[in-house]
Structure formats: C-alpha cells, structure tokens
Chain A
Amino acid sequence: EAGVTQFPSHSVIEKGQTVTLRCDPISGHDNLYWYRRVMGKEIKFLLHFVKESKQDESGMPNNRFLAERTGGTYSTLKVQPAELEDSGVYFCASSQKPGTNTGELFFGEGSRLTVL
C-alpha cells in the first residue's frame, strides 16, 4: 500500500512568486493534515481536513496560504505571494479517525520550500 506522497520534494522560488504543494494521502484516510518545520524548530500544525472540509485551520499563518482538498482526496497548499519567512519543510500527514487509540499520523517525506 502506498504511503503519503508529496510533490515537489524541493522547490526554489523567488520572493513574490507562487508555489503549489501537493499531497496524496493514504487511500481511505479521511483526515489530512499540513504541518511546517522551519529551520530546525518544532513541527508546527497548519491545518486539518476531514474529507473535503476544513476541520481546523488555526495554524495557517496568514491569507497568503490557501489549502484545498477538492473531492476529499488529494490536497494542495498554495503560497501566494511567497515571502522569505515561508521557507521550510512542509509535511503532509494522514490518518483514519482522530479518536482511535493510536492517534497515529502517517507523514509524507515533506516538500522543502526555499524562498530567495
């Protein structure tokens, strides 16, 4: 069974440009999460989808970030326009039900974004 896949693995753009990151969760996982890790700091929550609905978007830094999950399958995270501080590794994760005993999230390998 395929794990969580993310694309691209690395993106280098200039300040002011637009980047779109894509995440394909594990098949059958209704819950999809975006996280970001900046410069060796903590892995910070951005938002949580349940199917196509945004369950929690409290971690989104500002309105330059737009996440979508049309049809409840794959998700995209768009940054427009990108700023220097947006550089970091963006992780996507998926899970079955939040209330399950394991509480485990399955992570993708991440998309590294470098804004110059």
Chain B
Amino acid sequence: DQQVKQNSPSLSVQEGRISILNCDYTNSMFDYFLWYKKYPAEGPTFLISISSIKDKNEDGRFTVFLNKSAKHLSLHIVPSQPGDSAVYFCAAKILSYGKLTFGQGTILTVHP
C-alpha cells in the first residue's frame, strides 16, 4: 500500500514558465515532507522541506505548499530552467522516526 503518491509520471515545461509537481499522501501521522531531485546515475539530493505546522516554505525559485486537510503537497519552480530537468521525488516522514517514505517520482523536462 503506497502511502505517498505522485500521480504524474512526467511533466514538460517551457523555460521561464512555472513547473508544478504534485504529491498526495494517505498517512495522517506524517508530519514532515521533503522534495528530492535526482539526476541520472546520481543519488537523490535534498531540495526543500516543510513541516506540517506550516502551509508554505520558500527557497529561491522553489516553493512547497502543504494542504493538510487534502493530504496534498506541491512543489512550484519559478522560473523553470533547463538545468531543473530531473526526476523529482516527494517524501514524507514522521519526524521522530528516521525513515522517509517516497513517491514514484515525476520526470520534469524543461525545454529551452
């Protein structure tokens, strides 16, 4: 039973436009959420996170929004750049525990 789901396997966006990646979760015990970015042949790298006590966290071009009632989060990238092309993984955890539960990933392609 998958507790974190990314229902869009891929997303294609023009350079300079906004990229919106979505993620849904089912476990209401999750209280911390993260986005990871992965390039081919590399390990995932941390991008941005948000605590369940917040509904928004911003870091430069990246903003994560959390809607707890809908058990939904999204990652906005503005403006998108070709170097942002990668696989983006949504992850969730119970903060007192170590392990992350990941979604399937969304392949983002940003066209010049």
Interface residues, chain A, with chain B CB atoms under 8 Å away: 4, 31, 33, 35, 40-45, 48, 50, 55-56, 59, 91, 93, 95, 98-99, 101-110
**One of A31, A42, A108 near B4 (C-beta < 8 A):** A42
User: Across the two chains, which residue of chain A brings its CB closest to B46?
Assistant: A104
Q: How many A-B pairs with Cβ below 8 Å? A: 69
Q: Are B43 and A107 in contact (CB under 8 A)?
A: yes
Residues of B within 8 A of A (CB): 2, 4, 32, 34, 36, 41-46, 49, 51, 89, 91, 93, 95-105
A102 contacts across to B, CB distance below 8 A: 46, 49
A105 CB contact (under 8 Å) in B41, B46, B104, B105: B46
CB nearest neighbor in A for B92 = A103
A42-B102, A99-B96 given; 16 more Cβ-contact pairs under 8 Å: A31-B98, A33-B99, A35-B102, A42-B4, A42-B103, A43-B89, A48-B98, A50-B98, A91-B44, A98-B98, A102-B46, A104-B49, A107-B36, A109-B42, A110-B42, A110-B43
- Which residues in B have their C-beta under 8 angstroms from that of A50? 98
Whether A45 contacts B105 by the Cβ 8 Å rule is no
Quote the shortest CB–CB distance from A14 to chain B (angstroms): 24
* B98 x A33 contact (CB < 8 A): yes
Shortest CB-to-CB span from B42 to chain A, Å, is 6
User: B97 contacts which chain A residues (CB < 8 A)?
Assistant: 56, 98
A33–B49 alpha-carbon span in the complex (Å): 19
Which chain B positions have C-beta within 8 A of A33? 98-99
| Cα separation A35 to B44 with both chains bound (whole Å) | 11
Cα–Cα, bound, A31→B98 (Å): 8
Q: Is the CB of A41 within 8 A of B98?
A: no
A103-B99 contact in complex given A42-B105, A91-B44, C-beta closer than 8 Å: no
> What is the CA–CA distance of A8 and B6 in the complex, to the nearest angstrom?
30
CB distance from A111 to the nearest CB of B (A): 10
Q: Which residues on the B side are within 8 Å of A48 (C-beta)?
A: 98-99
Selected from B2, B36, B41, B46, the residue in CB contact (under 8 A) with A109 is B41
Distance of A109 Cα from B51 Cα, bound (Å): 27
Q: Is the CB of A103 within 8 A of B93?
A: yes
Give the residues in chain A near B96, CB-CB below 8 Å.
Answer: 98-99
